[in-house]
């Protein structure tokens, strides 16, 4: 079996394809590509096509190379199927950028359908004899938490403006011969450096790519050059 969904920039981004097999009441599925807009629909098609005698579903996510908040919808649909059918469902072998997104969302990176685990950064209290070091660690963790919350907020906002962000990623990929993951990081860092909303940055890049389109604001252009240099050079 296989199902696929194409992004708005077919041929540039990687469409989600789900291959798999079933035997002895067990379905083994292997998604490949990106968990972006439309991925939950591909999952629905795949799950609907499974034989009625399937009693366990396992997804190997090793070939998923990118995900945004649409990936969380993917997991919600998967969890709904699990509860509806009352059968074990697992999604394992996450790596790279998708694994990072699971961490940002506070999900179990081994299998996000399980309960959220204790924070991986938790450690034993520092000895009372060294309170300054403990304070430094606490400050560093607070800063990291703030950065992670900012990333999660941006990811949640991105889903509502996915088409223009897809286009901006495609423009960056074509202009700099970079990967979808690189393009996403460049967009995000440009947004942060220029103190401009991610959607606004993407819209400016997309508009400027037209024949007579206006160039992005100077602050965005400067931040974009810095982001590209940091990521690709």
Residue 27 belongs to a domain: yes
139-158 pLDDT, tens digit per residue, is 665 666 667 667 666 666 65
**pLDDT class of 71 with cuts at 50, 70, 90:** confident
Q: DSSP 3-state assignment of 72?
A: helix
Both 141 and 226 in a single domain? yes
- pLDDT greater at residue 26 or residue 119: 26
Whole domain around residue 16: which residue ranges? 2-104
**pLDDT class of 68 with cuts at 50, 70, 90:** confident
Give the residue from 59, 87, 104 where a domain finishes. Answer: 104
- How many distinct structural domains can be found in the chain? 2
Both 95 and 7 in a single domain? yes
Give the residue from 85, 104, 123 where a domain finishes. Answer: 104
Both 140 and 93 in a single domain? no
CA 155 to chain centre: 8
Both 6 and 99 in a single domain? yes
Both 82 and 152 in a single domain? no
Residue 163 belongs to a domain: yes
Q: Are 198 and 191 in contact (CB under 8 A)?
A: yes
Give the residue from 89, 104, 119 where a domain finishes. Answer: 104
Both 90 and 140 in a single domain? no
Both 10 and 89 in a single domain? yes
Mean pLDDT check: name the lowest of 24-33, 40-49, 50-59, 153-162. Answer: 153-162
Both 88 and 173 in a single domain? no
Q: Are 64 and 32 in contact (CB under 8 A)?
A: yes
Both 154 and 60 in a single domain? no
Establish how many alpha carbons lie within 13 A of residue 106's alpha carbon, considering only the half-sphere containing its beta carbon.
8
CB atoms under 10 Å from CB of 70, counted, come to 19
* The model scores a pTM over 0.85: no
Rounded Cα distance, 104 and 112, in Å:
12
Residue 118 belongs to a domain: no
Residue 36 belongs to a domain: yes
Residue 196 belongs to a domain: yes
168-215 pLDDT, tens digit per residue, is 888 899 889 999 889 989 999 999 999 998 889 998 998 888 767 788
Both 21 and 79 in a single domain? yes
Residue 109 belongs to a domain: no
Q: Are 58 and 68 in contact (CB under 8 A)?
A: no
Return the CATH number at 57. 3.30.750.24
Residue 145 belongs to a domain: yes
Residue 126 belongs to a domain: no
């Amino acid at each position: 079996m296989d199902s696929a969904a194409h992004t708005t920039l077919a041929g540039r981004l990687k469409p989600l394809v789900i291959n798999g097999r079933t035997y002895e009441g067990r379905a083994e599925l292997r998604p490949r590509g990106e968990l972006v807009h439309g991925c939950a629909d591909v999952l629905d098609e795949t799950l609907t096509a499974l034989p009625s005698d399937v009693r366990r579903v396992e997804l190997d996510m090793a070939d998923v190379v990118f995900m945004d908040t649409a990936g969380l919808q993917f997991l919600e649909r998967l969890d709904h199927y699990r509860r509806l059918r009352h059968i074990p469902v697992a999604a394992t072998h996450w790596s790279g950028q998708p694994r990072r997104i699971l961490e940002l969302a506070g999900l179990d990176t081994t299998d996000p359908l399980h309960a959220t685990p204790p924070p991986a950064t938790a450690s034993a209290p520092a000895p009372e004899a060294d309170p300054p070091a403990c304070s430094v660690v606490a400050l560093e963790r607070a800063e990291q938490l703030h950065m992670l919350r900012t990333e999660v907020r941006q990811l949640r906002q991105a889903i509502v403006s996915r088409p223009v962000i897809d286009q901006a990623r495609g423009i960056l990929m074509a202009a700099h011969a970079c990967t979808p993951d690189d393009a996403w990081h460049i967009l995000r860092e440009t947004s942060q450096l220029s103190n401009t909303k991610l959607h606004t940055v993407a819209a400016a890049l997309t508009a400027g790519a037209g024949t007579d389109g206006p160039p992005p604001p100077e602050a965005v252009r400067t931040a974009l050059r810095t982001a590209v240099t940091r990521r690709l050079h």
